[in-house]
Amino acid sequence: MAAPETSTAAVPTLYTNNTLRNAFGGVLSFFILLLIGVLAFSIRLFSVIKYESVIHEFDPYFNYRVTQFLTKKGIYEFWNWFDDRTWYPLGRVIGGTVYPGLTLTAGTIWWLLNSLNIPLSVETVCVFTAPIFSAFASWATYLLTKEVKGAGAGLTAAVLLAMVPSYISRSVAGSYDNEAVAIFALIFTFYLYLKTLNTGSLFYATLNSLAYFYMVCSWGGYTFIINLIPMHVLLCIVTGRYSSRLYIAYAPLVVLGTLLAALVPVVGFNAVMTSEHFASFLVFIIIHVVAFVYYIKGILSPKMFKVAVTLVVTVGLAVCCAVIAVLIALVASSPTKGWSGRSLSLLDPTYASKYIPIIASVSEHQPPTWPSYFMDINVLAFLVPAGIIACFLPLSDASSFIVLYIATSVYFSGVMVRLMLVLAPAACITSGIALSEAFDVLTGSIKFQLPGVTSNAEVDAGETSSDTSEAQTDEVKAEKPDDTSKNRPSKKSKKKERELAENPPAKATAKAKAKAEKKRLLALPLEASVISLLLLVVLGAFYVVHSVWAAAEAYSAPSIVLTTRSHDGLHVFDDFREAYAWLSHNTDVNDKVASWWDYGYQTTAMANRTVIVDNNTWNNTHIATVGTAMSSPERAAWEIFHSLDVKYVLVVFGGLIGYPSDDINKFLWMVRIGGGVFPHIKEPDYLRDGQYRIDSQATPTMLNCLMYKLSYYRFVETDGKAYDRVRRTEIGKKYFKLTHFEEVFTTHHWMVRIYKLKPLKNRIRGKAKKSKSKTSSTSSSKRSGTKKKNPWL
């Protein structure tokens, strides 16, 4: 806005023309943004259209259950919710251990709709929360990129984000997870930070703290913000870009943000006590020191200043050393150096696989492969470097932030597949900048070269390029009419004041120079620019096609319903819900169901039965107990389960139809996690020459463990050979009987099998058997003895 204003002062005839252009551009970009929102929402509806409106996967079921509780019982009950239906017999304090942002958001939407007498079910609201917030996220991307490189780049980045596959994978309709709202919160916080940095307005600084608070409420990934922003501040200070705007952008955020973050029960005192937050406080101190130095510098003469510096540096260094020594001692005294396991595995990618198998066992915590980059961000991977270069031409506070953001997120995405999600917005922003700059240059040079419209085009080209250059040099974003902010006139005048203060009369001449230079630079040959323009469009088209394909085919399956297409039409495998519905209607409401932790959330949400462990893996020992039971022989397993009051055991078995992510394939993790706590479970016992196999070459320990037996019980009677379609082999032990468990339900395609623990027998067993069983289960009985006295032993 500043550019046209100054130029119109010089050329009054262009004044009306320009305002009309701006108004038209404003309306156009408003409608483009609206369409981007529609696109972001509708591309995520493939899952509803192809499957059904249902909650997906595992964690969303927990969030859904929490939201149901919230809408039913109200907010106060929610904060105090102690859930006794999970982690039996320990229970879990849900109100204090859950990031409430998503739940509160969906709960508020539901409440609003219902108070308007729009009777949508909680499930519907939950299903559509993620697509709605994706639209918000793309708008936030527009705002953020506009702060960096102007509206054109903003629109490009927004449309890229609206359909970036990486983000789609986490936000399709039904994927009701924290990331759904957190990505919006992340981008919006960054936008407000840059907005504050560009304007120096305390109003935006406060909004920024609130946005940060929302982010803290929503996702554990907020630590990324509270580390990235200090890094950027430090970068600005080091490169000599300190200004009062930087101070206003940072200091209120740390103070207010930390106070607000400590209000969230799950964070609480962690906001000041864990190492994840130390960087922000350290930079907080540094920025104050720097601010103080700048202040002193302003009031003292240069000579006095030097004296003061030497004095302060000697004293300050001594104090700093002492403080740092104390801090290091404090941090070092804690075993994990004050970092949480997940953060540590980010800093040291080998940490999890060495020490915490439970984190390593989750597939989304594995490092990604190269194809997954291509799958998830597609052509953006090639545009990102160009965008980074564009950010350096010229480097501003805002664009240096983007460079820092993309650099750190590339590293994090390299450690965990899951964090590809954090990379996606950064990649979209940089690619948006790259594309927009490229279009600017190419269309500019085409206009410049076309003979017919030279006179007109010259002005246009000059204008657009000067527009962008202006935005870059002044970090003043071009204001749009749709940007309906309250203090528009006052802001304008403020901006003008600042402009005048910063670069007084040199402006006009500098602009004239820049214009001339730009024109010379832009003089690309016409053919080259037309061809490269076409190529860029093809690249964009390829991206769109890929994104739609990814949304439709790769990321829309709800994973609780499987479908296969065979020659006689679509075949649906709805076994999980069959089993959960059976459990919910045909067992007692207080029965305890044991399964591997993957199915914990679904069992509590869909079957409404108490589970022993669930996907919130807070208690490793408890999970190890279940893992031990699954890898123990039948009798020992029965004792463990009995000591936990378990009535039903649920296993997932894919051998009949070839469903690969079943319990047998996850079994080695059960052994590892179990063995990590109970050393009598040894992984080599289950491996033959280092190979995991279930055929006739399998070890006897493997063939006698509970998981094998429950999975393959009477499997041989289906085809006579007991051919496992997942492992592509015949199983090792085909005919066996269960003595302590009985099959009570098996789903239609055998994917879920439910067994009931047989009750205690009245008869006391013979002596020989008793002694034998004692030796086999001493370790487990020792442990279970503390929980419940077993009358058999």
Partner 1 sequence: MEAPIRAREALGFILFSLLFSICRSSSLNHLLISNAERRIDLSSHIVKVYLTLKVENAGSTPTSEVLLSFPPTQADHLATVEALVTKGKRKKTTLVRLDVKATELPDAPNDAKYFTIYLANPLKSGESTTIEVLYLLTHSQEPFPAEIAQSESQLVYYRDSALILSPYHIKQQTTFIKTPSTKVESFTRVEPSNRAGTEIKYGPYEDHPPYSFSPILIHFENNSPFAVVEELVREVEISHWGNLQVTEQYTLVHAGARHKGVFSRVDYQSRPTLNGASSLRYLLARLPPRVHSVYYRDEIGNISSSHLRTDSRKSELEIEPRYPLFGGWKATFVIGYGLPLQDFLFETSDDRRYLNFTFGCPLLETVVDKLTVKVVLPEGSKDPSAVVPFPVEQHLETKYSYLDVVGRTVVVMEKKNLVPAHNSHFQVYYTFKPIFMLAEPLMLASAFFLFFVACVAYLHIDLSIRK
Closest contact distance (angstroms) between CB of 504 and partner 1 is 23
- Dihedral pair phi/psi, residue 134, rounded to 5°: -70, -40
Q: Does 746 bind partner 1 (CB under 8 A)?
A: yes
Q: Does 750 bind partner 1 (CB under 8 A)?
A: yes
Dihedral, CA atoms, 397, 403, 272, 318, nearest 10 degrees?
-70
d(CA 631, CA 701) in angstroms, rounded, equals 8
Please say which residue, 117 or 333, places its beta carbon nearer to partner 1.
117
Q: Which residues have C-beta within 8 Å of that of residue 314, sequence separation ≥ 6?
A: none
Letters for 470-489 (x = contact with partner 1 by CB under 8 A, - = none) are: --------------x-xxxx
**Which residues, 556 to 575, sit near partner 1 by CB under 8 A?**
560-561, 572, 574
Q: Does 736 bind partner 1 (CB under 8 A)?
A: no
Which ranges constitute the DSSP H helices of 57-93? 59-73, 75-79
Q: Does 762 bind partner 1 (CB under 8 A)?
A: no
d(CA 401, CA 475) in angstroms, rounded, equals 13
**Which residues, 321 to 340, sit near partner 1 by CB under 8 A?**
none
Q: Does 30 bind partner 1 (CB under 8 A)?
A: no
* Phi-psi sector, 286: left (phi>0), alpha (psi -120 to 50), beta: alpha
Size of the residue set binding partner 1 (CB under 8 A): 35
How much of the chain is helix, strand and coil, in % rounded to 5? 70, 5, 25
Q: Does 118 bind partner 1 (CB under 8 A)?
A: yes
Closest contact distance (angstroms) between CB of 54 and partner 1 is 4
Place of tokens 């920025």: 287
At 122, list the tokens.
């909680």
Q: Which residues have C-beta within 8 Å of that of residue 94, sequence separation ≥ 6?
A: 66, 69, 78, 81, 82, 83
Q: Does 743 bind partner 1 (CB under 8 A)?
A: yes
Please say which residue, 469 or 587, places its beta carbon nearer to partner 1.
587
Closest contact distance (angstroms) between CB of 718 and partner 1 is 6
* Phi-psi sector, 200: left (phi>0), alpha (psi -120 to 50), beta: left
Closest contact distance (angstroms) between CB of 65 and partner 1 is 11
Nearest one of 664, 665, 630, 662 to 644, comparing CA atoms:
630
* Candidate list 704, 745, 776, 792; residue touching partner 1; CB under 8 A: 745
Closest contact distance (angstroms) between CB of 715 and partner 1 is 8
Task: Please work out, in degrees rounded to the nearest 5, the angle formed at the alpha carbon of residue 325 by the alpha carbons of 322 and 331.
Answer: 140
Closest contact distance (angstroms) between CB of 781 and partner 1 is 28
Closest contact distance (angstroms) between CB of 473 and partner 1 is 27
Q: Does 288 bind partner 1 (CB under 8 A)?
A: no
Q: Does 496 bind partner 1 (CB under 8 A)?
A: no
At 479, list the tokens.
């204001």
* Candidate list 374, 439, 582, 792; residue touching partner 1; CB under 8 A: 582
Sign of the Cα pseudo-torsion (733, 736, 739, 743, in order): positive
d(CA 328, CA 333) in angstroms, rounded, equals 8
Closest contact distance (angstroms) between CB of 179 and partner 1 is 22
Q: Does 88 bind partner 1 (CB under 8 A)?
A: no
Q: Is 693 within 8 Å of 708 (Cβ atoms)?
A: no
Task: Please work out, in degrees rounded to the nearest 5, the angle formed at the alpha carbon of residue 478 by the alpha carbons of 477 and 482.
Answer: 115
Nearest one of 49, 53, 92, 95 to 76, comparing CA atoms:
95
* Candidate list 80, 490, 559, 621; residue touching partner 1; CB under 8 A: 490
Q: Does 497 bind partner 1 (CB under 8 A)?
A: no
* Candidate list 218, 747, 773, 781; residue touching partner 1; CB under 8 A: 747
Which ranges constitute the DSSP H helices of 600-754? 600-602, 620-631, 634-643, 663-677, 700-704, 706-712, 716-719
d(CA 489, CA 39) in angstroms, rounded, equals 34
Closest contact distance (angstroms) between CB of 756 and partner 1 is 8
At 297, list the tokens.
């510098």
Q: Is 606 within 8 Å of 581 (Cβ atoms)?
A: yes
Q: Does 303 bind partner 1 (CB under 8 A)?
A: no
Q: Does 77 bind partner 1 (CB under 8 A)?
A: no
Closest contact distance (angstroms) between CB of 479 and partner 1 is 14
Task: Please work out, in degrees rounded to the nearest 5, the angle formed at the alpha carbon of residue 150 by the alpha carbons of 149 and 155.
Answer: 105
Of 111-119, 246-254, 326-334, 643-651, the window that binds partner 1 (rule: CB under 8 A) is 111-119
Q: Does 501 bind partner 1 (CB under 8 A)?
A: no
Neighbouring-strand partners of residue 692:
687
Place of tokens 């105090």: 80
Letters for 202-231 (x = contact with partner 1 by CB under 8 A, - = none) are: ------------------------------
Of 133-141, 188-196, 612-620, 712-720, the window that binds partner 1 (rule: CB under 8 A) is 712-720
Of 30-38, 229-237, 411-419, 740-748, the window that binds partner 1 (rule: CB under 8 A) is 740-748
**Which residues, 36 to 55, sit near partner 1 by CB under 8 A?**
52, 54
Q: Does 117 bind partner 1 (CB under 8 A)?
A: yes
Of 24-32, 113-121, 249-257, 434-442, the window that binds partner 1 (rule: CB under 8 A) is 113-121
Based on its alpha-carbon atoms, the radius of gyration of the chain, rounded to whole angstroms, reads: 31
d(CA 126, CA 53) in angstroms, rounded, equals 10
d(CA 676, CA 70) in angstroms, rounded, equals 37
Q: Does 589 bind partner 1 (CB under 8 A)?
A: no
Closest contact distance (angstroms) between CB of 712 and partner 1 is 12
Of 103-111, 116-124, 184-192, 233-241, the window that binds partner 1 (rule: CB under 8 A) is 116-124
Closest contact distance (angstroms) between CB of 730 and partner 1 is 17
Query: Residues interacting with partner 1, by CB under 8 A?
Result: 52, 54, 116-119, 484, 486-490, 560-561, 572, 574, 577-578, 580-582, 585-586, 606, 714, 717-718, 742-748, 750
